[in-house]
Amino acid sequence: MTETLTEMLIIFIKIVCALVWFLLLTLYLTWLERKESALIQDRLGANRASIFGIRIIGLFQPFADAIKMIFKEDFVPSFSRKFLHTIAPFISFFFVAITIAAIPFGDILRIGNRTINLQILDFNVGLLFVLAMLSLGIYGIILSGWASNNRYTLTGGLRGVAQVISYEVALGLSLIGLIMVYPSLRLSSIVLYQGELLFGFLPKWGIFLQPLGFLVFMFAALAETKRVPFDLPEGESEIIGFFTEYSGLKWGLFMMTDFMEIIIVSTLLTTLFFGGWQVPWLASDGFHFPWGGELMLPHLVVVLLQVAAFNIKVFFFCWLQILIRWTYPRFRYDQVMDLGWKLLVPLSLVNIIGTGIIMTI
Amino acid sequence: MIKALGYFIEIIRGILITTRHFVVNLFFHILKVLGIKTKRKGAVTIQYPEQKKEVASRHRSLHRLMTRKDGKPRCVACMLCVTVCPSECIYVEAAEDPDLEIQKYPAKFIIDLGRCCFCGFCVEACPEDAIRMDTGNVDFAEYSQQDLIYDLDKLIG
Amino acid sequence: MIKIFIDEQQVEVEEGMTVLKAAERAGIHIPHLCYHPAFPPEGSCRMCLVEIEGFPKLELACSTVVKEDMKISIKSARVVEARKAVLEFLLAEHPLDCPICDKAGDCKLQDYYDEYGLFESKFSETKEKREKKLKIGKTLILDQERCILCTRCVRFLKEVTKTQELGVFHRGIDAEVNIYEGAAVLNNYTGNLAQICPVGAITDEDFRFKTRSWFLKEGESICPLCSRGCNILIEYHPGFPRFEVPRRAYRIKARENPEVNGFWVCDRGKYGYSYLEEGRADKIILNKIEGKDVLTWENISEYLGEKIKRVSSAKKTSGIALVLHTWLSNEELFLIHKIFRKGLKVKKIFFADLPQGEADEYLLTSETSPNRRGAQEIGFDIKAVNLDALAKGTDFLLAFGPFLSGLFSLKALKEVLSKVKRKVLISSYLNEVNSLFDIVIPAALIAEKEGSLTNVDGVIQSFKPALEPPGESLPEWKVLADLGKELGTDSKLFEDLNSPGAILGEMGKEIPFFKKK
């Protein structure tokens, strides 16, 4: 009895920790976006939000944003479908937030004789679960576009759905090569496989085994996040998108979903192609360098190193995505479709065939 | 498809440019935080309310009315500024001055800055050099339109 | 008729004309300052110099009489040069205080400098100091520095008013226009001096520093303040909508009409323009009405017609009384004549006009209203208001004009009018008698409507609106024409009476006096 309770407590703590990590990162990603874009454009970025006159390079900006969004009028147009209009942002938010459950943050943490898996839920179909949840997020888009009962939001929603579904294909196909290499859909196993060495020195990360798959996956994932080079569903400045009729916190949810998608894509890129929490040559008892050196480390340090490695990799990919968003202009819609169907899908097919040929050889 | 591939080089170059800006600017910001003075700054922007850019000598800012030596307005209420004003924001009411050398002075001189377009025609039209736009003051925003209507006292002071 | 050539253009003119007048008749403007068509030429300004073939020197256009085959050049290099030199001499002594000069904008010296001068001043000496602000009359201010000694004012007082209050004193550089010691320009036509002065030497205190002349718009009208019917220009400012400054008339100028007033207007007409704005009614006032909640100009004639029909059917027409005045135009009086005298056979028609005033020997007449002659010619018997006769057996009173309050005390009016069941007033002013009437309808003034007036000599003068009527005010002829249609009196006639012109045409058919000559 106490055993089950402790188990539940542990899972509960894991959920809380993961969600706090996720949401805090989301919050500060908005800060990072402001600051990074400012640095790219030789500006300073948001630096005015202060508490009692203390500014610390605008670190309080996300809170100011949040407070503003909470207190803004939540306007529901009289002509909208009220219930669907209300529920749409929550659907979007929920299906992204839940994906974090399948992501492994680290290996196994041993406290006393109890082993804790640093992953909320270790599915054996973890990869499929993540992909499924990401595609369900489309419902939020199409519902908000349709329920607003405004032809602009509807076309925005349709654009969004068409784009996301198109890239879903490339996204799924690009991972088949990966599954062929690491014969598992369990994300923790995929990460574990990546701890092995290729030719005795190179970690068996997905990027080295599946470079083409990585490229296709990254582009498709970028398109999935619906951010700038692929921001056709919304395009606030000129082409009016699906959440035009939203304001206040509901709009804020869409905004957060955007940033959460960045994080999810980053964790997926990390987990699938960059060894997840793996640190090169770090085994559970310490470093085993390929040139012969060894460095024994206590268990807790190893776990911390692994979690830190995971975080650093995720941060890097978040940074990279923001960099991409502030570098490229938006694609035209036909270019988006061309890129998806005429380039990424064939490339992912080539990747599958190539992987198959190499593996049989 | 081949066309799309051709863009790849440019795509890589683009991201290298933004990365360079990011890294270089970050480097200079860090130097500044560490207290090392450099000629180049991390950002080219000016932090407006605290830092102000010097206005050019020809810049047209808030109007002012010039005065004679004894403090009376130099304006003789000839209403040429009223005539030339394209946004019809000046209103002048003349009165008679006992001094025969002056004769006419403005009893009321009102500029509605809410309507003013800062073209500077009034300054050019003035035969007495009585109105100038060289105060350098550009931040006179108000919460009500009524406060933007400047009268004689405000324009001289 | 003889023919002359002005700049190679052949012009047919009458014999004995001056070159300037001949050119003016042909539509060619020769610049001049001292010449005024009302006086004999003086030739003091020298602006009108022209070159005439066969004459060794340049000649004055204002005083040279035309001859057969005269070849006149007004644009030759010599003339232009001479004109420039004359301007330079005039401006040598003229102060450049145009910014504070009221004449700026319609100053002829300014215009000519702009057109023919545009030289750099070579006059480096100091200008003579003279009197800048000399009060010479009721409202006139003389600035001797600005004076160019054209003597138009002196000649006006000599030729027109024959009072000769101004003269030119001293000689040479010291010459100046001035009043005689201890005297002032005091006659009934002083206002014209400010108008005829070609520069800003004589200005009007009434207009001084109030506005600038280029802001003013002008409208042609007829002065209604006496029965002379002088032709005037009303100069008004359309108002600054941004600063909530409303439309306002600033001055009256005389308009040339040799038949009536020549070039002049009396001081009463010139300065008495406050009636255009002061105390104007601009909304329909409803003190007591039945049936309708809102009366507008659209349904007012319907309402009046209904009331009048009820009275006339029940008690015949002895129950209707009218109070008129002679500020109404010929057309309006004719419509009243048609509807009430001919149609309804109303007997009780009175005229409420202001009492007679003083006349002078020139333009001003003793009559204080403009159209008494017109009323007489239409056939009205002009009876003054008799309050007892007015109220006796009256059920419906239709009164025009604001003058009742000036003729009777409010108490007496109240006593009498309380006996009358329905009372309607059509007036342009907010007045204490307004409270005694059920409905007060705001009407346009003569300056704001179209129509015609018959002056004391029987000259019929048509006029067009010079100003916009304030608020809801509309001319009386409109409501009367509608009322005529409503009542069905002489329906064939009222069918197409849609403009004062049409009404005047009908009048001409009926009354020979109004027939177009």
pLDDT at position B1: 59
CA distance A237 to B6: 29
A38/B18 Cβ within 8 A: no
Interval A339-361 mean pLDDT: 91
Q: Which residues of A touch B29 (CB under 8 A)?
A: 39
Interval A340-356 mean pLDDT: 92
pLDDT at position C315: 61
What would the CATH number be for the domain defined by C285-514? 3.40.50.740
At C328, give phi and psi (nearest 5°).
-75, 145
Q: Measure in Å the smallest separation between the Cα of B112 and chain A Cα atoms.
A: 33
| pLDDT reading at C292 higher than 70 | no
What average pLDDT does chain A have? 89
Parse chain C into domains and list their residue ranges.
2-92, 285-514
CA distance A358 to A296: 37
| pLDDT reading at A200 higher than 80 | no
Residue C99 at interface with chain B, using a CB cutoff of 8 Å? yes
Q: What is the CA radius of gyration of chain A?
A: 22
pLDDT at position C517: 65
Q: pLDDT tens-digit profile of C309-334?
A: 888 776 666 788 899 999 999 999 99
Q: pLDDT tens-digit profile of C460-489?
A: 999 999 998 888 888 999 888 888 888 877
Instruction: Report the residue from B76, B89, B115 with minimal CB separation from C100.
Output: B76
Closest Cα to residue C138, out of C88, C225, C205? C205
Q: pLDDT tens-digit profile of C375-427?
A: 999 989 888 888 888 888 888 889 998 888 888 888 888 888 888 888 899 99
pLDDT band, residue B2 (cuts 50/70/90)? low
Interval C508-513 mean pLDDT: 89
Alpha-carbon C54 to chain mean position: 46
Q: Measure in Å the smallest separation between the Cα of C241 and chain B Cα atoms.
A: 9
Interval C496-514 mean pLDDT: 88
DSSP designation for A340: I
CA distance A123 to C287: 89
- Written in H, E and C, the secondary structure of B63-96 is CEECECCCCCECCCCCCHHHHHCCCCCEEEEEEE
CA distance C407 to C409: 7
Higher confidence at residue A323 or residue B49? A323
Spell out a b/e string for A40-53, using b for 16 or more CB atoms within 10 Å of the CB, else e. Answer: bbebbbbbebeeee
The β-bridge relationship of strands C396-400 and C320-324 is parallel
CATH T-level assignment (fold) for domain C2-92: Ubiquitin-like (UB roll) (3.10.20)
Does ipTM surpass 0.90 in this model?
A: no
pLDDT at position C390: 85
Chains B and A: 3 or more CB pairs within 8 Å of each other: yes
pLDDT band, residue B83 (cuts 50/70/90)? very high
A38/B1 Cβ within 8 A: no
Q: pLDDT tens-digit profile of C329-381?
A: 999 999 999 888 888 888 889 998 888 888 888 899 998 889 999 999 998 98
The β-bridge relationship of strands C422-427 and C396-400 is parallel
pLDDT at position B5: 67
Q: pLDDT tens-digit profile of B3-22?
A: 666 777 888 899 999 999 99
Instruction: Report the residue from B91, B95, B103 with minimal CB separation from C240.
Output: B91
What average pLDDT does chain C have? 89
| Nearest chain B alpha carbon to C134 | B100
Spell out a b/e string for C122-148, using b for 16 or more CB atoms within 10 Å of the CB, else e. Answer: eeeeeeeebebebebbbbbbbbbbbbb
C211/B91 Cβ within 8 A: no
Q: pLDDT tens-digit profile of C124-175?
A: 888 888 988 999 988 999 999 999 999 999 999 999 999 999 999 999 888 9
Interval C224-235 mean pLDDT: 93
For the record, the structure tokens of B141 come out as 């925003």
Residue type, position C358, single letter: E
- C positions 128-167 inside 8 Å of B (CB): 132-133
Q: What is the CA radius of gyration of chain B?
A: 26
Edge-to-edge strands, sheet with B90-96: B90-96, B104-112, B149-150
Residue C210 at interface with chain B, using a CB cutoff of 8 Å? yes
For the record, the structure tokens of A241 come out as 């998108």
Q: pLDDT tens-digit profile of A104-119?
A: 988 888 887 888 888 8
CA distance C338 to C424: 19
The string of DSSP codes covering A29-92 is: HHHHHHHHHHHHTT---S----BTTB-GGGTTHHHHHHHHHHHS-----TTS-HHHHHHHHHHH
pLDDT band, residue C123 (cuts 50/70/90)? confident
Tokens 């300073």 correspond to what residue?
A: A44
A342/B4 Cβ within 8 A: yes
Closest Cα to residue A270, out of A330, A180, A207? A207
pLDDT at position C243: 79
pLDDT at position C148: 93
Interval C443-459 mean pLDDT: 92
The percent of residues above 90 in pLDDT, for chain B, comes to 58
A44/B14 Cβ within 8 A: no
Interval C211-225 mean pLDDT: 93
CA distance C32 to C115: 13
| Nearest chain A alpha carbon to B41 | A42
pTM of the model: 0.74
CA distance B34 to B51: 22
Which residues, other chains included, contact A21 with Cβ-Cβ below 8 Å and sequence gap of 6+? A105
A324/B21 Cβ within 8 A: no
Instruction: Report the residue from C97, C100, C214 with minimal CB separation from B83.
Output: C214
pLDDT band, residue B106 (cuts 50/70/90)? very high
Contact between B133 and B62 (Cβ < 8 Å) = yes
pLDDT at position B112: 93
